[in-house]
Amino acid sequence: MNTPLSPRERQVAALIAEGRTNAEIASRLRIGANTVKNHTRSIYAKLGIQDKPGNPRVLLARWYWREQEKTA
């Protein structure tokens, strides 16, 4: 990863890793659903996660939990 995630992107990534929907994330962070989608696209781009093949949310969750283990 060349460009680190912003604090807000990390929040969105954590909620995605928990399995939250875009609507749930938007409500929890008090932002619009389109803003969640924009953050998600940015996160995927920064982490090099492609929309296909596989489930990008699963890939993001794996990345997030690995990052959490590094800081534990």
Question: What is residue 54's predicted lDDT score, i.e. its pLDDT?
Answer: 62
Q: Does 1 reside within a domain?
A: no
Q: Do 47 and 64 touch, CB atoms closer than 8 A?
A: no
Question: What is residue 60's predicted lDDT score, i.e. its pLDDT?
Answer: 79
CATH code where residue 21 lies: 1.10.10.10
Q: Does 46 reside within a domain?
A: yes
30 Rama sector, left if φ>0, alpha if ψ -120 to 50, beta otherwise: left
Query: What b-and-e string marks burial along 12-38, b requiring 16 or more CB atoms within 10 Å of the CB?
Result: bbbbbbeebebeebbeebebeeebbee
Low-confidence ranges of the chain (pLDDT < 50): none
Q: What is the total count of domains within the chain?
A: 1
Q: Does 2 reside within a domain?
A: no
Instruction: Return d(Cα 12, Cα 29) in angstroms, integer.
Output: 8
Query: 13 lies in which domain range?
Result: 7-71
